[in-house]
Homo-oligomer: A and B are copies of this chain.
Amino acid sequence: MERVPVLKIGDILLVSIQVDMEDQTALQLQEDLAERIVATGCHGVIIDITALDIVDSFVGRMLSTIASISKVLDAETVVVGMRPAVAITLVELGLSLNGIRTALNVERGMELIAAARDDDEEPDDDLDAGESERVAASP
Interface SS of A by simple majority: loop
The answer to whether A107 touches B10, judged by C-beta atoms less than 8 angstroms apart, is yes
Q: So how many copies of this chain end up in the complex?
A: 2
Q: In the complex the two chains form, what is the Cα distance from A81 to B5 in whole Å?
A: 9
* CA–CA, A10 and B2, complex, Å: 29
Q: Is the CB of B18 within 8 A of A107?
A: no
A4 proximity list for chain B (CB < 8 A): 18, 51
- Determine whether A71 belongs to the interface, using a CB cutoff of 8 Å to chain B: no
CB-CB under 8 A for A7 and B16, given A2-B51, A51-B2: yes
Residue on B with the closest CB to A52?
Answer: B5
Task: Say if the beta carbon of A106 comes within 8 Å of chain B.
Answer: yes
Q: Is the CB of A50 within 8 A of B5?
A: yes
Contact B51–A7 (Cβ < 8 Å): no
Contact B51 A3 (CB under 8 A): yes
Q: Please measure, in the bound complex, the distance between the C-alpha atom of A6 and the C-alpha atom of B2, giving whole angstroms.
A: 20
A105 proximal to B (CB < 8 A)? yes
Q: Could you say which of A8, A18, A50, A106 has the most chain B C-beta atoms within 10 Å of its C-beta?
A: A18
A9 near B: Cβ within 8 Å? yes
Q: Are B16 and A19 in contact (CB under 8 A)?
A: no
* A contact set with B: CB distance below 8 Å: 2-5, 7-10, 14, 16, 18-19, 48, 50-51, 81, 105-107, 110
